[in-house]
Amino acid sequence: MGLFLNGPGSKAVMEKKSKAIVEQQFLKRTRPVLEKTAYSLQSPQGAYVQLNRRTVLNLSSHNYLGLANDPMVVHAAKEGLKDRGYGLASATTGTVTLDLHKNLENTITAFLQTEESLIVASVVETYTGLFQAFLGEEDAVLSDTLNPPSIMDGIRLCEAKHYRYRHKDMSDLECVLKMTADCRLRLIVTCGVFPMDGQLAPLAEICRLADQYDAIVLVDDAHGIGVLGERGRGSGESCGVSSRIDLVTGALGMAMGGTPGGFISGQKGLINGLRQSSYTGFESSPLPPMVAAGAIKAFELAESSDVLRNTLLNHTAFFRQGLTRMGYIIKPGTHPIIPVLIDDEKQARQLSLLLFESGIYAEAVVFPLVPEGDMGLRVQISALHTEEDLSFALDQFKSVGQTIGLLFPEE
């Protein structure tokens, strides 16, 4: 009876109750005293950016190769806009495809050395349509516990059974593979590079288990493609298992220009099946022509030279060594995502704020974005940074760290 309130003011009462419930839900997931500081970007992406009308060194972007405002990428995007217009005003039906979209798919396929690729309008859309397209109730998805929400949400939309194995724990993955032996298909899903800490998945061992137990492997390599491997082809190349990975997903918003858009690449039969069966292309507008044109140029630049990637990795090693020498705790690795671990959330946010006042933008990452034991700052290096930039940043990390008690002053 209480659900059917028709008296005067009943709508207002329900709205107030609903608002209170929503606010309480947010309070469970945030700490109001430590709310995020809002920054307004007022410049193109680069080594230095304008945030809240201040020029700061940017240590928090996915612009790994520095292509987001590269003159050749920008020129290609302008040509795409001029030649093909601003938008397409249609969904991707499978019967009409913009030539630039097909060219981009072919470019991605050639770069990754796979058989076929499919572009989609966003990374989230990649997973919205992927799992439901070929997994049914008789199948199982085996997912690393630290896979990002976009993957988890996509899995929830499909009918397959969902099992989560402990983060990077191959013994646990093997147990789940044995447990699901009666399933028709098993799909193992992992990040190649985990986005919050830059750690690589043990892809060689995952592929070994997939071969042993006849499972399909899908790797989200958004933060690996363009960065890792001898030719920048990602974490699969870095681990020597590219040919054993069935499906790779990636994002245009990372190393390849920093725009919206995602893609799936891999075996031709699987990709063509997704092209015909996934509903997401029918529900959203395709990539704007200027985005496709710019992305093609970004992949061409990444393919043509190792200079940007080698610069990026050298800068990463330099900055990692500098932080470690002064006493910061960071997770080991070679990826330009560098997690600076700080147990106390308040100190993590304080360090980020004081660094900003010193001319450095380095984002604090705290619970629930990361587990409580992994809170701190997530630093991201770009090929656009110079050693002088990074030396300046290290000086500020040292000074501010000593000021707030994270580091001991030198005697």
Considering the entire predicted model, what is its pTM? 0.89
User: Domain tally for the chain?
Assistant: 2
Q: Considering the domain boundaries, does residue 2 fall inside one?
A: no
pLDDT at 5: 44
> 230 and 124: one domain?
yes
Give pLDDT tens digits for 296-354: 999 999 999 999 999 999 999 999 999 999 999 999 999 999 999 998 889 999 999 99
> 169 and 243: one domain?
yes
Q: Which domain holds residue 378?
A: 30-59+306-403
Q: Considering the domain boundaries, does residue 21 fall inside one?
A: no
CATH number for position 193: 3.40.640.10
> 169 and 251: one domain?
yes
Average confidence (pLDDT) over 39-47: 93
Which residue in 295, 296, 312 sits closest to 232, CA to CA? Answer: 312
Give pLDDT tens digits for 261-298: 999 999 999 998 888 877 665 567 789 999 999 999 99
Q: Considering the domain boundaries, does residue 4 fall inside one?
A: no
Q: Considering the domain boundaries, does residue 353 fall inside one?
A: yes
Q: Considering the domain boundaries, does residue 399 fall inside one?
A: yes
Q: Before 368, cis peptide (omega within 30)?
A: yes
Q: Considering the domain boundaries, does residue 376 fall inside one?
A: yes
pLDDT at 204: 98
* 395-402 contacts, C-beta under 8 A, 24 or more apart: 396/355, 396/358, 396/359, 396/360, 397/323, 397/326, 397/328, 397/355, 397/360, 398/326, 399/358, 400/351, 400/354, 400/355, 400/358, 401/326, 401/327, 401/328, 401/351
> 270 and 180: one domain?
yes
Task: Mark which of 286, 304, 322 sits at the end of a domain.
Answer: 304
> 143 and 207: one domain?
yes
Q: Considering the domain boundaries, does residue 410 fall inside one?
A: no
pLDDT band at 3 (very low <50, low <70, confident <90, very high): very low
> 231 and 291: one domain?
yes
> 279 and 171: one domain?
yes
pLDDT band at 211 (very low <50, low <70, confident <90, very high): very high
d(C-alpha 353, C-alpha 298), whole Å: 33
CB-CB contact of 299 with 293 (8 Å): no
Task: Mark which of 304, 319, 346 sits at the end of a domain.
Answer: 304
CB-CB contact of 64 with 227 (8 Å): yes
State the number of CA atoms in the 13 A half-sphere of 33 facing the CB: 4
Average confidence (pLDDT) over 2-13: 48
> 320 and 300: one domain?
no
pLDDT at 7: 53
Task: Mark which of 275, 304, 333 sits at the end of a domain.
Answer: 304
Q: Considering the domain boundaries, does residue 104 fall inside one?
A: yes
The β-bridge relationship of strands 337-341 and 262-266 is unpaired
CATH number for position 42: 3.90.1150.10
Which sign, positive or negative, has the C-alpha torsion 164, 169, 170, 176?
Answer: negative
> 292 and 312: one domain?
no
Position 36 pLDDT exceeds 80 = no
> 88 and 216: one domain?
yes
> 54 and 79: one domain?
no
d(C-alpha 48, C-alpha 56), whole Å: 5
Position 368 pLDDT exceeds 90 = no
> 172 and 271: one domain?
yes
